[in-house]
Copies of this chain bind each other. A is one copy, B any other.
Amino acid sequence: MERDIYSNLSPLDARYYKSNKQLLDEISAYLSEKSVIRYEAVVEAAIITVMERYGIIPKGSSEKMKKACREIDPEAVYREEEITRHNIRALVQVLQRSVGEKLAPYIHLTATSEDITGTAAALRMRDVFFRVVLPRAAEFMDVILAIAQREADTVQIGRTHGQHAVPITVGYLFAGYADRFGGRVIKIIDAVRELKGKLSGAVGAYNAQSLIFDDPRRFEEEVLSELRLSPASFSSQIIEPEYTLDLIHAVVSAFGVLAQIADDIRNLQRTEIGELGERFEKGQVGSSTMPHKRNPWNFEHVKSMWKEFTPRMLTRYYDQISEHQRDLTNSASGRFTVEIVTGFTLAVDRLTSQCKKLVVDTERLNNNLEMTKGMFLAEPLYILLALQGVSDAHQVVKELTLRAEKQGKSLFEILEKEKISQEMIRTEAWGKLLDNPSFYTGKAGERALEISRLWKSRVEEIRKECADYRDSLL
């Protein structure tokens, strides 16, 4: 059933599809309605495989079943659902027709719908993360780690409350981003590894399974192991929702780090700051009436996506409640989880391509650094005075800085007239800072490199784990 994308309603299927077709087609293989049916068939096939192993059905059944699953047509399943009004029963009936009357009664036998849909959902999530999302996250890490290393010693004024504080380096800034985002990526992986399946029947007590199997929990384990999953430690009709909840928390909190990065960079592009910039594409227009403008709209876009998707986390918390052995008030809400994953991956990809063309303007960096005429040396001055035993050092320096500000002079000029303090601070450390105030960057450069090295090797491990999940299950 084809449709013009410009008639679609979700931006994800129209404007953003248009803007990043390749990525969204990749995601679609795991998160679209088509993929739902395909993965559900995969789970049904795994049950047949283990039934064959148990000798319940003849050898060769599983091959027949897998073939039927590979060939399944979503359109046909949807047509069937129009009659049955039940999606899994529709799938089962289509598969039954395909495998022939002998095998038919064994398809889905003892399983409840949720055994299939819940397990398939875990599989789809695992695969989309290992095959699409995490490789993208790793690429983003590469890009910001490269900036962290390249700019490890590029001095930049540090800012707290939007006010100049004391200097750091651009590399240190990006090392921090990498450390925070990397930490979240590892949380995501931990959560993906924890995803579980189930095959415990309509209320989770293996009622139906117990009719056939002495040890239905072992049967469950074997089926899930075919899919490289393990069973939930408890299930009712549904898998405990907390596994997915933790994953979405990891995603949403990783999104928060992207938003911080985007927000910082767009602020550093303010006309008055100008320390970072996007390269303009040929033909690009800044504004419909102000052609000269260079708006950081890509970074704004990332923050905007974060604003859209973060509140949706709440729906997932609400979906923790499912009355008694389950109610279905999470049916629609569960389906929209794919939008969060899609939105996040789009944001990662957007930020990656923007950071690749990010320009660091060292002239503006230096101008900004010198803007307060060395005022940031008030901090080391206070510390060096205190080290000499000046008990009200903080107060002394505060007055010096107020005087400097009042007179429009630099802290140095004021200090020169203050003989007493002059003597007290005649230390080597202070001498160095006077020669080169931007030397006051502490361990910024060193730490930028240390953190980068650490994460580079971790990113390699992430890539290895992703590679390990490349093969198809059918």
Contact = CB atoms under 8 A, between A and B. Distances in A.
Interface residues of A, number: 192
B314 A204 contact: no
A296 B1 contact: no
A447 interface: yes
Interface string A1-15: 111111111111111
A31 interface: yes
A383 B110 contact: yes
Interface in A57-84: 74-75, 78, 83-84
B308 A311 contact: no
A333 B16 CA distance: 12
Contacts of A336: 10-11, 308
B311 A205 contact: no
Interface in A141-186: 157-169, 172, 175-176, 179-180, 183-184
A382 interface: yes
B321 A259 contact: yes
Residue from A210, A308, A405 having most chain B Cβ neighbours under 10 A: A308
Interface in A306-330: 307-308, 310-315, 317-330
Contact of A237 (B1, B160, B402, B404): B160
A375 interface: yes
A464 to B, nearest CB: 22
A353 interface: no
Contacts of A111: 288-289
Q: Which 8 pairs of residues, A with B, have the shortest CB-CB distance?
A: A10-B10, A291-B398, A158-B203, A256-B320, A292-B401, A207-B442, A161-B295, A159-B324
Interface of chain A, main secondary structure? helix
Residue from A172, A203, A269 having most chain B Cβ neighbours under 10 A: A203
A301 B166 contact: no
A393 interface: yes
A291 B397 contact: yes
Contacts of A85: 281, 283-285
Contact of A207 (B1, B179, B334, B379): B379
A293 B165 contact: yes
A420 interface: no
A435 interface: no
Contact of A292 (B75, B328, B375): B375
A141 to B, nearest CB: 14
Nearest to A443: B206
A277 to B, nearest CB: 11
A180 B216 contact: no
A382 B211 CA distance: 11
A5 B318 CA distance: 29
A228 to B, nearest CB: 21
11 contacts: A8-B10, A8-B13, A105-B389, A109-B383, A160-B324, A166-B202, A211-B387, A260-B320, A290-B379, A301-B331, A303-B329
Contacts of A187: 242, 246
Contacts of A375: 292
B317 A253 contact: yes
A339 B78 CA distance: 23
Contacts of A453: none
A6 B300 contact: no
B33 A6 contact: yes
Interface string A23-57: 01101100111100100000000000000000000
A173 B264 CA distance: 24
A360 interface: no
Contacts of A227: none
A85 to B, nearest CB: 4
Contacts of A318: 307, 310
A18 B1 contact: yes
B161 A327 contact: yes
Given A205-B444, A253-B242, A271-B163, A378 B14 contact: no
